[in-house]
Structure 1
């Protein structure tokens, strides 16, 4: 954390410190007692460097919060409890940063400044300090215009938000986005966080309307519906996340003039009612260019609680990263999925199928470029797997922007098919042929870079090694997105 300066002690220990901001006015604040980070000293006061902050015993006597207007006291108190567990100045600084980060995550405040000073008053202790947070709450209504990035698609998003409506982090948001591939999306969400338990919980209820074009399969999709999502983070420091979702929507598939018959026969409106659970453990040190750590993500979806669509869908996403000699980073990724109908009275639509191929999926193949096809239209499958081994290395001569651009080499393989096409009689061992028959494989190299710390961009030259005659191949690919194989 660097060198921290403190006041020269006189009769009693007096520590003044600041984490980014002026010394607050202590006349109008909420005070919480045991039983403040702006790090600065008074101008002209003699200073000395303190190198071992762990030797300075510290006790937090009081915590002040200045600037609360709409935000309720109980929400703030629940975030400050960790401060009273600090036993030395080093621990106090770390806990103050953590509390400040948690206060920012409430979605209630625009600016948060912190000041730490020696405790004063009749109830102060010799080693006591007072921590003061000066906050500035968000406006009641705010809006923005920005760009967003999806899988190989950019979009312009207009959004408006009413934050901290009832003083406990509740907010109402409305978004409209228009994509480069004629897709548009309207979403209105009500968000309610819960801070009164050991697990961090956020409940989101959304109504949406979307329209998307899938020329690789020859259809357009429009759907309207609502989604309820409960996100649960197991502990404030845990990397384990659960998402419990319920989705109900009306979907309408419209075929293009060039669509195959198998696509046309699935056109029309359908009603989907499904429950979904997403379990993830993300211990990577970064999302786009991780150098170490692993990711485990398991998604289970059950449709058929109403409507005319019914299936059980499971997806697995694994990734692990390790760095050798500070210059070479290896990344191993694996994805798989399994889709199965649950009733003869309920059907599976082409919208629900798995698709494989693309610049951030199985490279060397066009978007949705492998698997079952008919008359140039990709039909998708109900079982797939894909694996990739990547090697990243910095640019030669290490320019100033080398941290955002890396040389990239890879080899990936995978397969996509339908269980009905693989089954022979009642011999379900034939399903294992997905790992041995008609496996696709390619290798290549290129440049990978981070775009605005929100998306990954790749420009690759690829050589397909194993492929089928019906696959759509490519040797040069440009991809942009967030999730990748």
Structure 2
């Protein structure tokens, strides 16, 4: 009925249901076959603390995401029901996550191809724990085995602790007359928040330069044998790249510090930094720059397993794998300091071949033994001012799992001990300079 005063009727007032006060009386989860009461309480604690309907729904959806990230559940659905008195009940209905997963793959990187098989068991004891086993064999890796036992902290998949044990045997005769044998056990805490990831780890490693060949150099024979390292490593990574293989925007910054000497025969301090940045130019061209640098110091000789090596399709292109830096005869000895820098320009995707781009690049780097036996100032100046360098052109294939490069390389500057690889060079992997 119209108002007799001729005025307009008041508009209907909507009710913001999400903002209504609410007290959660009970939470429950269905569809998960194994879940401990204490773990469920930790995951659902934010839901029980909600004071509005919207907060309760958001917290329950976050709990669904945690269960999915831990492999415990999938297809989560949140249901809000009227509870006793003025409370609401929250129910999370989902399907059981996969318990066991097995995968096989072929990895290419570090100048070798590797075939691997891995098995993972999720939710081992009903608290999001996981156990993994990896086995690999390759063109240089005779055998590599790794086991991991991990668990989330407080039900949060972004914070976890891991125990690891691994062993590998690598045929290093492509760059040195020996085999590289490594065994280690360790524990680590990892945390991630957005683009930032932190890690603190303690590990005990037994390394061996074994199977020294008849043509081994005197210096390699001096470095042969066993070394035991026990130490702590702290690392932080910032990664805002839009792709881990061929980024077109974003930045990667990583830094790690290691201190060894908490047991074992090895005493050293080791620092490593890496920075990469990619920016679009124009419609779809990309300019990328990268820098890597590191230093390791020890009161005695730095073990071969802890030294830095430079050169190869993933490092300074146009040189052999581990082909830059100190050598004794045919044996690469590595260095206690190094740097490597790269600048590249990627063309727009090629017509009818959107995964391919043309690539123009320039690389430079150097590796030396300066800290263990400091030489004259001229040695440090030459290390900084006279890098080995190369330029080239080629094609880059972008895939979500791997990056492939075929480059024509032209070395421009080299030291007498460097091993050059001019002409075509193929690189496959994830990490490139």
Common topology (TM > 0.5): yes
Distance 2:396 2:189 in 1: 34
Among residues 160, 169, 181, which one is paired with 2:119 in the alignment?
Answer: 160
Task: Indicate the residue corresponding to 2:75 in structure 1.
Answer: 113
Q: CA RMSD in A?
A: 3.4
Indicate how the Cα distance of structure 1 residues 433 and 368 shifts in structure 2: closer, same or farther if over 3 A, else same: same
Task: Indicate the residue corresponding to 2:428 in structure 1.
Answer: 480
Match of 2:319, SS? Answer: coil
Indicate how the Cα distance of structure 1 residues 232 and 130 shifts in structure 2: closer, same or farther if over 3 A, else same: closer
Q: Does the CA contact (< 8 Å) of 2:208 and 2:225 recur in 1?
A: yes
Task: Indicate the residue corresponding to 2:380 in structure 1.
Answer: 431
Match of 1:166, SS? Answer: coil
TM-fit CA distance, 1:76: 4.9
Alignment of 1:469 with 2:416, yes or no, is yes
Match of 2:203, SS? Answer: strand
Distance 1:448 1:94 in 2: 43
Match of 2:127, SS? Answer: coil
Deviations 1:350-391 (A, max 9, x none): 221111000010011110111111212211111111111121
Alignment of 1:207 with 2:207, yes or no, is no
Of residues 205-214 and 72-81 in structure 1, the stretch that sits farther from structure 2 once superposed is 72-81
TM-fit CA distance, 1:251: 1.7
Alignment of 1:273 with 2:230, yes or no, is yes
Among residues 395, 406, 420, which one is paired with 1:459 in the alignment?
Answer: 406
Alignment of 1:354 with 2:308, yes or no, is yes
Match of 2:380, SS? Answer: helix
Task: Indicate the residue corresponding to 2:328 in structure 1.
Answer: 374
Give the gaps of 5 or more residues in structure 1.
1-12, 14-54
Give the gaps of 5 or more residues in structure 2.
1-13
| TM-score normalised by the chain length of structure 1 | 0.75
Indicate how the Cα distance of structure 1 residues 322 and 308 shifts in structure 2: closer, same or farther if over 3 A, else same: same
Deviations 1:303-357 (A, max 9, x none): 222222221111110111111223111111100011111x34xx42222111100
Match of 2:135, SS? Answer: strand
Task: Indicate the residue corresponding to 1:183 in structure 2.
Answer: 142
Distance 1:97 1:154 in 2: 42
Task: Indicate the residue corresponding to 1:240 in structure 2.
Answer: 196
| TM-score normalised by the chain length of structure 2 | 0.84
Indicate how the Cα distance of structure 1 residues 384 and 195 shifts in structure 2: closer, same or farther if over 3 A, else same: same
Q: Does the CA contact (< 8 Å) of 2:175 and 2:332 recur in 1?
A: yes
Matched positions, count: 414
Indicate how the Cα distance of structure 1 residues 332 and 105 shifts in structure 2: closer, same or farther if over 3 A, else same: same
Distance 1:390 1:104 in 2: 39
Of residues 240-249 and 251-260 in structure 1, the stretch that sits farther from structure 2 once superposed is 251-260
Distance 1:115 1:188 in 2: 34
Task: Indicate the residue corresponding to 1:450 in structure 2.
Answer: 398
Q: Does the CA contact (< 8 Å) of 2:341 and 2:364 recur in 1?
A: yes
Task: Indicate the residue corresponding to 1:228 in structure 2.
Answer: 187
Task: Indicate the residue corresponding to 1:41 in structure 2.
Answer: none
Indicate how the Cα distance of structure 1 residues 420 and 118 shifts in structure 2: closer, same or farther if over 3 A, else same: closer
Task: Indicate the residue corresponding to 1:8 in structure 2.
Answer: none
Match of 1:71, SS? Answer: coil
TM-fit CA distance, 1:56: 7.6
Distance 2:189 2:84 in 1: 47
